[in-house]
Chain A
Amino acid sequence: AQTVTQSQPEMSVQEAETVTLSCTYDTSESDYYLFWYKQPPSRQMILVIRQEAYKQQNATENRFSVNFQKAAKSFSLKISDSQLGDAAMYFCAYRSGGETSGSRLTFGEGTQLTVNP
């Protein structure tokens, strides 16, 4: 079974600075997807960024980028130019590549990010 681990329960960053959230995973599969989801306080969970395992290039979405190290099974999220609206719980998630079991997600424990003005 796949597992996802986020070793940082809480992180903080100053507004306009850069922060990196860590995630490691364990799998024996070669085809899979990795995700970062954001859950703002009292608001719905939304997808931040997605990485396909077969792609060597790291995914980027505006101020959000990932460092995907497949051999090390590491998938960190970098937030540049942090904004107050980035304050949220961030979850790392794994999904198998095939269309099996509804393509269920396996989540990490979450990292609570605080952005200080």
Chain B
Amino acid sequence: DVKVTQSSRYLVKRTGEKVFLECVQDMDHENMFWYRQDPGLGLRLIYFSYDVKMKEKGDIPEGYSVSREKKERFSLILESASTNQTSMYLCASRSGGVGYEQYFGPGTRLTVT
């Protein structure tokens, strides 16, 4: 079974703090993704990575950065958290090649106060 894990299910941070969200997958997948989920907006892609140290911006990268130093780990960084970044964050991974599906982690519900 593919397993995608995220470091925290719930997280509360203060405005201005630097926040790290960690995602680990155990299936040697090339592609990893960070999404943000908000009511009425569905999932929106923040960043994705198709290889170690490689990254591409998604639809809403502003205020976020990412790091992928090892193939199994993909980190989302909020440089200076703001209240409008309060959301559910979902990580996903996928093997390369046409036809493979994305597997999702359980999500991190982040509250910025």
Contacts and interface: CB of A to CB of B under 8 A. Distances in A.
Interface in B40-59: 40-45, 48-50, 56, 58
B61 interface: no
Given A35-B101, A44-B104, A102 B40 contact: no
Contact of B104 (A4, A33, A45, A102): A45
Interface stretch (B11-19, B20-28, B78-86, B90-98): B90-98
Contact of B56 (A6, A46, A102, A110): A102
Contacts of A44: 4, 104-107
Contacts of B97: 99
A109 B42 CA distance: 4
A68 B92 CA distance: 26
Given A9-B40, A43-B106, A44-B106, A104 B45 contact: yes
Given A43-B106, A105-B102, A91 B42 contact: yes
Interface of A: 4, 6, 9, 33, 35, 37, 43-47, 50, 91, 97-99, 101-110
Given A105-B102, A106-B45, 7 more contacts: A101-B48, A102-B30, A102-B31, A103-B100, A105-B33, A105-B45, A109-B40
